[in-house]
């Protein structure tokens, strides 16, 4: 699968490296769907990308502490304000929101309004590990060509509670129905691990790469 832009090359997606998350797996998945990739925490290199992917595995407060120490919080907000497509995967999706109650609480990036809370499983075991059906609630460029039902692989104990319903693009269920795919403007996220989710996960990432390609083409011609 190849995806070129007005500049002649495939879009370059930077996987944000703050030391948490399966960065290599994400990098390989993006390459499979036609992106050029780099794993980096260098601000100049991140600014030169056509899109940013924020991975995440671990605890929200620890992740935000490292992101803040590296100055990546301000860089992500700057790039978001510039219109660059940004995608958060698993805990990376949670970091896009304003606050999490995990481990006593911590402030997030605030790119999307809402709070991260523990999943109410009603007796089911935590963490939620496995394949869950995703039901798309509204059309989005991120779900283009994906026909229900699709299944994505999840590993998590916390979920985002967006402040606005229209941010919720797709939902899944494990004890309660939760936001599993979100998007607003140029900011997107999936509670799952798309890189571990076979054809459907790769299709989700391919749609994000296409958005990055469109953004680069618009910048190239402006």
Catalytic residues: 90, 193, 195
Q: 196 φ, ψ to 5°?
A: -110, 10
What count of residues does the chain have?
222
Strand order in the sheet with 86-89: 36-40, 12-16, 51-54, 86-89, 187-190, 176-184, 168-174, 128-136, 150-156
**Helix runs in the chain, H state only:** 23-32, 43-47, 60-69, 72-81, 91-95, 198-221
């Amino acid at each position: 699968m190849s995806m070129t832009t007005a500049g002649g090359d495939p879009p370059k997606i930077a996987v944000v490296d703050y030391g948490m998350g399966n960065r290599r797996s994400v990098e390989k998945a993006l390459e499979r769907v036609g992106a050029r990739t780099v794993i980096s925490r260098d601000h100049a290199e991140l600014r030169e990308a056509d899109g940013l992917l924020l991975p995440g595995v671990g605890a929200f407060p620890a992740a935000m502490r490292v992101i803040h120490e590296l100055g990546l919080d301000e860089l992500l907000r700057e790039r978001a304000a510039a219109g660059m497509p940004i995608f958060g995967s698993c805990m990376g999706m949670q970091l896009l929101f304003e606050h999490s109650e995990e481990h006593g609480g911590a402030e997030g990036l605030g790119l999307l309004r809402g709070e991260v809370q523990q999943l109410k499983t009603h007796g089911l075991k935590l963490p939620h590990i496995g394949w869950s059906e995703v039901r798309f609630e509204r059309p989005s460029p991120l779900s283009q060509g994906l026909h229900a039902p699709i299944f994505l692989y999840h590993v998590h104990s916390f979920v985002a509670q967006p402040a606005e319903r229209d941010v919720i693009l797709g939902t899944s269920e494990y004890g309660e129905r939760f936001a599993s795919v979100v998007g607003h403007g140029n900011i997107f996220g999936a509670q799952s691990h798309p890189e571990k989710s076979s054809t459907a996960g790769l299709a989700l990432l391919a749609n994000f790469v296409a958005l990055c390609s469109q953004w680069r083409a618009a910048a190239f011609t402006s």
